[in-house]
Structure 1
């Protein structure tokens, strides 16, 4: 009983840290975009966490953990609507649910993860997507697509049976959001002024200090994101996980800054920040399996990848204002494959399992997000008008100004 209490308290602390990450995402996204769209981004982030928790309670948790039976294909299952009360016949809380945490803590911890996938999309589509289609997309993607995808590994589905490994969600959270972000950006098109004569133009964010605060908050939140994924307060494994997480983040930031400085001859703070996030995403699939040296290598490669991925996305004329695709999709794929190359699970068989996992999620997430967003595009439209985009989504979608006393002339 005492051990359960200790484990459960740690899991609740981690739940709070993952919740705090939503503030980090909000700060990062508004900091890297223009002042006139601040309220729009904040509204989306608040909507995601609130509707995400309600959807995860109503259907998501039981879609993600359906209890696949013997002989099941492990692709789709559903354990029923709502949360079941884990009480014994005597009416006391059933403490036999799990030795690491209670049923309620399990729901809340996993629910925080669910909302993150849509938050990734929010940043990528910033400054030109209508709010209502985004909300509809969020409801479907968080309520159905994410939990079904999650069940394939964390719910004991076919990828789990195949040996696919994703400790805390390089693929299950970050790539699931990243694939949808890629599809959404493709279907939306670039912001006005982003490309001139085929060449990408910088559209500076309005508050880089806020973006920096967002990244540091996200790094702190990752203590819960990865640390909580141990699913107990095991001292050795939890400590190792936090060490590998921090080392990968540090290496990712340093290498992104170093490589971007060589390539572009300037010390770009935004690339430094995205390098840190890339390192965090990269280590997330195998944080409990890596040595400190492995973590540094994985983070360094992730940070390097970020620089080239951002450049490639620009060359493809895809407009991602916050670098979400490079960070969450590209580094998520790298981190997932890295499990087969480094750490305790390294080997050809594991690498093949990781590859199958990456491919499975790519097909499912690209297909489902394309169907959702393309349908919305053809029925109600997904992009604001040119006038609305130029004047800002805050004024047209919300009738308010984030900084009414400090209005700047923006174009």
Structure 2
């Protein structure tokens, strides 16, 4: 913004009458004007850096949310194996190959972690601009990057909320019951999908993105069950499936004027197919999906294969059945455990202490005389 403020003494002197003192007066005024302009520049620099630091703090909050989400979604037992190469967790599928739901550790932690991720996503998407005080074109001071930041926050919110509500009612129709953890995963699926094009699409398009992302997540979960693929966090389905849809969505709905404003550069950039931009951006997004899959396979495949061969990728069956709280951490994490969880009850005969009641004698003083 400060770069548009300039003053030249030669241009100002004629306006001051052109007398012998006009040049000196114009020079003085321009020097004061330059000082004020420098102060504006320093203020803009401070605001942009404060915005960047606050966005980084929000992204840090996402890490806390992800940790809570992981802790709430899985239990202390049966949690180490989420890789297809190792097979599903013990008890995840019955002998006929049918899916058996394994309860998570804490729905409260899942919800709290999801809200922290939601909070942090505003640093992840709007914060990716790095600066906020930037004017677009010759619009003056009423339209600039701050407008794109606000639009990005709106599209992020709409996509996540739409996906959460769609997942809520969609799973209710398919499963016959309400499930808060499904809503949380749907919310995050909407966020993952909109992240690709959050700054270059209209709010109405974000609603479309979230609606489709919810069904992509539900479909990927169904496919995972058919393939006996076990992922307690639904991470591959959520980030892989919904993320791939988000890339395709950007190639379809990216608006040309937003693309030019946000990314700049000479000439017109390709934009969404449905927005009149042709298929160049969509083709680039498809190539990007293939490149990401190839890159992850080449880099992570050997790593996990090596860990698998070294027996570092999965705990033993004994540890998995008994629970890592007992085998690795010295005891249960809580002072109580679920009474209806048969896997936590010792095998064999259980003896229970019977407390005396008011009807039974507790001492010789209450015994009848003989």
User: Which residue among 315, 337, 341 is the counterpart of 1:384?
Assistant: 315
1:312 Cα deviation from its structure 2 partner: 0.9
Aligned to 1:188: 86
Q: Does 1:406 pair with 2:336? A: yes
User: Which residue among 216, 223, 231 is the counterpart of 2:115?
Assistant: 216
1:305 Cα deviation from its structure 2 partner: 1.1
1:400 Cα deviation from its structure 2 partner: 4.8
Aligned to 1:226: 125
Name the TM-score, length of structure 1 as normaliser: 0.63
User: Which residue among 5, 8, 20 is the counterpart of 2:61?
Assistant: 20
Aligned to 2:196: 285
Q: Deviations over 1:129-179 (max 9, x none)?
A: 5xxxxxxxxxxxxxxxxxxxxxxxxxxxxxxxxxxxxxxxxxxxxxxxxxx
Q: Does 1:7 pair with 2:59? A: no
User: Which residue among 3, 19, 30 is the counterpart of 2:71?
Assistant: 30
Counterpart CA distance in 2 for 1:271 and 1:402 is 25
Q: Does 1:199 pair with 2:98? A: yes
User: Which residue among 79, 90, 95 is the counterpart of 1:127?
Assistant: 79
1:254 Cα deviation from its structure 2 partner: 0.9
Q: Does 1:322 pair with 2:233? A: yes
Counterpart CA distance in 1 for 2:184 and 2:68 is 13
Q: Deviations over 1:71-117 (max 9, x none)?
A: xxxxxxxxxxxxxxxxxxxxxxxxxxxxxxxxxxxxxxxxxxxxxxx
1:352 Cα deviation from its structure 2 partner: 0.3
Aligned residues: 267
Counterpart CA distance in 2 for 1:322 and 1:377 is 20
Counterpart CA distance in 1 for 2:64 and 2:318 is 30
Aligned to 1:42: none
User: Which residue among 328, 335, 340 is the counterpart of 1:397?
Assistant: 328
1:311 Cα deviation from its structure 2 partner: 1.1
1:396 Cα deviation from its structure 2 partner: 2.3
Map 1:40-189; keep pairs closer than 5 Å.
Answer: 127-129=79-81, 185-189=83-87
Match of 1:209, SS state, is helix
Q: Does 1:248 pair with 2:159? A: yes
CA contact (8 A) 1:256 1:307 kept: yes
1:206 Cα deviation from its structure 2 partner: 2.3
CA contact (8 A) 1:310 1:323 kept: yes
Counterpart CA distance in 2 for 1:266 and 1:361 is 36
Aligned to 2:272: 346
Counterpart CA distance in 2 for 1:275 and 1:185 is 22
Aligned to 1:109: none
Task: Flag the structure with larger Rg.
Answer: 2
Counterpart CA distance in 2 for 1:325 and 1:376 is 19
1:397 Cα deviation from its structure 2 partner: 2.9
1:337 Cα deviation from its structure 2 partner: 1.3
The gaps in structure 2 that reach 5 residues or longer are 1-41, 133-144, 256-270, 274-278, 344-370
Match of 1:206, SS state, is coil
Structure with the bigger percentage of helix: 1
Q: Does 1:361 pair with 2:260? A: no
User: Which residue among 336, 341, 349 is the counterpart of 2:247?
Assistant: 336
User: Which residue among 153, 178, 186 is the counterpart of 1:267?
Assistant: 178
Q: Deviations over 1:214-252 (max 9, x none)?
A: 111111110101011112123111101100000000111
CA contact (8 A) 1:127 1:392 kept: no
Aligned to 1:297: 208
Counterpart CA distance in 2 for 1:397 and 1:252 is 38
Name the TM-score, length of structure 2 as normaliser: 0.69
Counterpart CA distance in 1 for 2:63 and 2:161 is 21
